[in-house]
Amino acid sequence: MAVSEHNHNHNGSATLRKQDFASGQETRWCPGCGDYAVLSAIQEFLPELGVPPERIAFITGIGCAGRSAYYLNTYGVHGIHGRAPAFATGLAVARPDLSVWALGGDGDMLSIGGNHLIHAMRRNMPIKILVLNNQIYGLTKGQTSPTSEVGKVTKSTPYGSEDTPFNPVALALGAGASFVARSVDRDRRHVIQMLRAAAEHPGAALVEIYQNCPIFNDEAYAVLTDKDTKDDHQIRLEHGHPIRFGTEGERGVSMRSDGSLAIVDVSDVGEEGLLLHDAHQEDPSRAFALAQLAHGVSDPTPIGVFRDVQHPVHGESSHEELASAHENAGPAELETLLRSGATWTVG
């Protein structure tokens, strides 16, 4: 994609703005689609990276969210169904100098793309993965997706879905992801906070974004976004702080004697009885318990960073070894080794 010219400050260095990351193509989503809000948040955030558009790549899959690649003035690939994490993995390995992002919907990422997704996180690839979850297949006109709730009546499930849905945050934690977060499309400030935290993380980072589909699954997250209900349903996770929520912070999360979590009234347990959120805890079991706290989006639901731990990033050691081999052996000897044939002797 073409890259726009950037303004320059008095020192001659590029000053990036939101419009530097807008391609100029007309956005074509349904009116009211949550993809508009997510795209705007991404474009507003990207200047913070201090990385020019030509050093950033967005890899998308098939689905409504996949069109984002056309609207971002970065390099990008609108790939095939479910393969965004695989494409992003290959690009990150070949070009470690790039900022690589994979973006897709819940159907794209968690159905045909599920295998690629879990291995990208298991390997701790240096990529950022955004899963826009509207709990429905939107592009193909409203079939159940891997995150649709039990009993969901759609064109593909006229008698209600019998399938237990995936929990993307729990899935990521189970795959060993070193960074996992969740946000909501209508809270731009929070989305940008999660994008910033993901970008600062050196390895694989998954951010699930609850995203409204006004045509096929409208108001799926209404209690988390509506002015009158969101304070009582958004459990905001902040590292190092007691987990509490509510209009006046009157409710919170506590740990039972058996290690399970419960929603409590602060007046009953006191602030000292609330769970202190530790996103940097190496053991993922507490983050996993938080991911399972809500049994549906109508329940109080944690948003924020669930886990942010430091693990070896895939490819870093091999790049160092290759650079060392090149330096010690010399370009000519390395070229000879690489082209020396398809057989070798062991021992």
Under DSSP, is residue 321 helix (H, G, I), strand (E, B) or coil? helix
Q: Where residue 153 sits, what CATH number does that domain have?
A: 3.40.50.970
Residue 166 has pLDDT above 70, yes or no: yes
> Cα separation of 122 and 98, whole Å?
21
**126 or 10, which is more confident:** 126
Q: Which of 115, 81, 120, 122 is nearest to 101 (CA)?
A: 120
> Looking at the domain assignment, is residue 1 inside a domain?
no
Quick one: average pLDDT of 247-256?
96
Q: Are residues 181 and 266 in the same domain?
A: no
Q: Are residues 97 and 11 in the same domain?
A: yes
Number of domains in the chain: 3
Give the pLDDT confidence of 196-230 residue by residue, as tens digits.
Answer: 999 999 999 999 999 999 999 999 999 999 999 99
Mean of all residue pLDDT scores within the chain: 91
Q: Are residues 33 and 145 in the same domain?
A: yes
Residue 296 has pLDDT above 50, yes or no: yes
Residue 242 has pLDDT above 90, yes or no: yes
Quick one: average pLDDT of 140-161?
94
Q: Are 249 and 285 in contact (CB under 8 A)?
A: no
**Lowest-confidence region among 200-214, 283-297, 317-331:** 317-331
> Looking at the domain assignment, is residue 2 inside a domain?
no
Q: Are 90 and 102 in contact (CB under 8 A)?
A: no
Q: Are residues 156 and 231 in the same domain?
A: yes
> Looking at the domain assignment, is residue 211 inside a domain?
yes
Q: Are residues 151 and 237 in the same domain?
A: yes
Q: Are residues 121 and 96 in the same domain?
A: yes
Q: Which of 103, 134, 161 is nearest to 222 (CA)?
A: 134
Q: Are residues 252 and 330 in the same domain?
A: no
Rounded to an integer, what is the distance from CA 219 to the centroid of its chain? 21
Range of the structural domain that residue 270 is part of: 242-275
Q: Are residues 223 and 181 in the same domain?
A: yes
Residue 347 has pLDDT above 70, yes or no: no
Give the pLDDT confidence of 20-36 residue by residue, as tens digits.
Answer: 999 989 999 999 999 99
